[in-house]
Structure 1
């Protein structure tokens, strides 16, 4: 069986042939890490500047700052709002002028600023992103403008029953863990946020030792390294200069909070005027890198991974109880979630919950059929291959491997792992969740749900 590609932190240079292309990696003495995947036929490239700091890390910020919750997401907004040499408008027009797809994302364990461009515009994208990440002004006037924008963003999410259910599900299942907090903060913390708190976050957490740059597509690794080092050396902020001594880079998050105790089964109802209940039920899942993750992938595909899945067939196709239903997993460095989602009329909610539990229990007791195994393996293979046609997916795959376990499973290696999963392993994974205390979150007109 093939082994994954390893990214040791003490290896300055790495080069691996992969599927007709090449993956290269440079670890600079400052801690900066640059990874590329050259795709020979590509005429575009996606580049991402990743900071290994997410919303969960806000606990390590100034605990006396009432507005610190949500500062990671607040900062993501502000980095588009100007540097000493580029205004917010110029940043926007520079990207629009070349037809780039550019954006940023804040997650629970990292933040990313990225752009997808044609090959001829790659160097411009590198320069613009580097300037944004290293030289942001965090202008006080722009800070207040973005406070309003973020409050509108939170208000929009609060009007989306699915978003409300998801946020509450994380909170209830992970309760005291930082991963259970909302990525964007709350209206209260955003209103209380101070520019100095966000600036503290920026200066304390953004430097070469936390920066991972990944690119995929039509990219020259050596040229990218040269461009990035030039940009950091020219930064107006001394902390970005790569000739400074750094604490050695390490993976993981240092001291992490204890995992929350297993919660008792509970039903959480969030009353909202709606024609439909948005329903989530589940429990804690597997951490990233758990050896059971391949068995989970197979089990999840059979349970709720597509239109032929058991949940979809039993809940939608046979009974017409929901338009959408699926199962999912989310894995982090020291915690995870497993859940089942459905949207149904309030009076059908209890039946949907019972059917969901029943299908999970059936896999736990009886396993899956050979036909289901082959179908799931094909689904995973096909969806993975299609996703990897995109430079953005490959760029993200490099970053998550570098920021996570330090192991990169290419498509063939990954499929070998899935194919090696046994029937007993799938049953054991299903039993793990079927026997766990399940949290139910229902958002909508719950007075008619019978819960």
Structure 2
């Protein structure tokens, strides 16, 4: 892995993977939905859509045709803390990929007519989210966990905010937020670092301001106010869906690797405690798992399960019993050993292609400003002890829980007692 910082603070990171015949190019921008004011909720995601509609040199059709003509992929995604625009192409088409991604990110035009067309597309995406109980529940859960804090808002925004957003607001968001010091160009595959830097210099041009490069901005640690809550979405459906969990420290926490082991052992695989207790032993649910969301200043460890309404009380009871048992008695050495093996295998197998490696180095540079080799990461996982994992379990699983429920729920008072406790 090699790194170069260019004038204006733009960082270029590459990883040479000689065994592939592809190149993945990503422009990572340290701007996401948590950087929006409430009146423009969803602006980062709306802008991500809009920049593909037209540049000074390409129409939307031309953008699509040029990428299709080389069999490549051009796309983007927005999260709460960053936005990524990326292309995946043959290594021989590296120059085209850098050109096109830079063209979209830097010179997308935000035309008024395109705003109206894409507004309808985003509203359709919100409707699609609302039709998917699991997606809806994910947004509701983070709202229950973080309340008015910006990470508690949906990345996609709301119908009201997207409907009211103007071209001027989106253009201003683009100009003010998409600055070189907030950007990382990450490239992985059969590529040469010096060639990549030359292409970036060529296509970023006037955006590379001469003079002293600013220090890349980094989000500081903050405090999330208030306590987690219970939120209920009443909906006629065949299943009742549950997400419940606790707040965690942010991604810079010294025990984050132990948290990963805890999460994996709780609900990260087929042998995990929740999967075995809820699905395999009792047959209460088809889908049950745990996950960790981490941000700069906070995070959440959450459990999801979807079940038939008549089984919901028992699913809640078994889930809370498992969490109480782990908080009190901890995980076994075997559970930690299996979880660590799962993490190691998942890491290595997940980096078999250039796209996954590009995502790894881009996210690492943007979030941490440093890079750990795969071997170093594996060593860090190996170094986690059962005692550290169980100390993290005691610390986190005794915190106040938050929860979100979606389904045919009559009233909060009809919910199982552990959820009523959250509701106060």
TM-score, normalising length from structure 1? Answer: 0.88
Listed as ranges, the gaps of 5+ residues in structure 2 are 416-424
Aligned pairs for 1:44-443 within 5 A: 44-59=22-37, 66=39, 68-233=40-205, 240-245=206-211, 248-253=214-219, 258-263=223-228, 266-443=229-406
- Match of 2:36, SS state, is helix
Conserved? CA contact 1:277–1:349, under 8 Å? yes
Structure 2: distance between partners of 1:433 and 1:139:
48
2: CA distance between counterparts of 1:437 and 1:164? Answer: 23
Instruction: Report the Cα distance in structure 2 between the residues aligned to 1:140 and 1:69, rounded to whole angstroms.
Output: 19
**Is the CA contact 2:144–2:230 (under 8 Å) kept in the aligned structure 1?**
no
The 3-state SS of whatever aligns with 1:322 is: coil
Distance 1:339 1:205 in 2: 31
Instruction: Give yes or no for contact 1:346–1:448 (8 Å, CA) kept in 2.
Output: no
- Determine helix, strand or coil for the equivalent of 1:333: coil
How far does residue 424 in structure 1 lie from its aligned partner after superposition?
A: 2.0
Secondary structure of the corresponding residue to residue 377 of structure 1:
helix
Secondary structure, aligned partner of 1:41:
coil
Does the aligned pair in 2 maintain the 1:24–1:36 contact within 8 Å? yes
Post-superposition Cα deviations, 1:212-238, rounded to whole Å, max 9, x if no partner, equal 1001111111111111111122xxxxx
Instruction: Check whether the contact 1:357–1:434 (CA below 8 A) recurs between aligned residues.
Output: no
Give the aligned CA root-mean-square deviation in angstroms.
1.6
Post-superposition shift, 1:128? 0.9
| Contact map agreement 1:281 1:339 (CA 8 A) in 2 | yes
* Higher relative helix content: 2
In structure 2, distance between residues paired with 1:226 and 1:409: 25
Find the aligned partners of 1:417 and 1:298 in 2 and give their Cα distance: 11
Query: What is the CA deviation profile of residues 109-136 of structure 1, one whole-angstrom value per residue up to 9, with x for unaligned ones?
Result: 1111001111111111111111111111
- Check 1:350–1:246 CA distance in 2 against 1; reply closer, same or farther (3 A cut): farther
Shift, 1:448, TM fit = 9.0
Equivalenced residues, count? 414
Equivalent of 2:15 in 37, 46, 62: 37
Query: Contact 1:251 / 1:404 at 8 angstroms: preserved in 2?
Result: no
State the Cα distance separating 1:247 from its structure 2 match. Answer: 6.6
Gaps in structure 1 of 5+ consecutive residues: 1-22, 234-239
**Which string of whole-angstrom CA distances, capped at 9 and with x for unpartnered residues, describes residues 94-114 of structure 1?**
111111122100111111100
2:251/2:299 contact within 8 Å kept: yes
Query: 1:14-67: per-residue Cα shift (whole Å, max 9, x none)?
Result: xxxxxxxxx1100012111000000111100111011111110113xxx7xx3x
Q: Could you say what secondary structure the match of 2:241 adopts?
A: strand
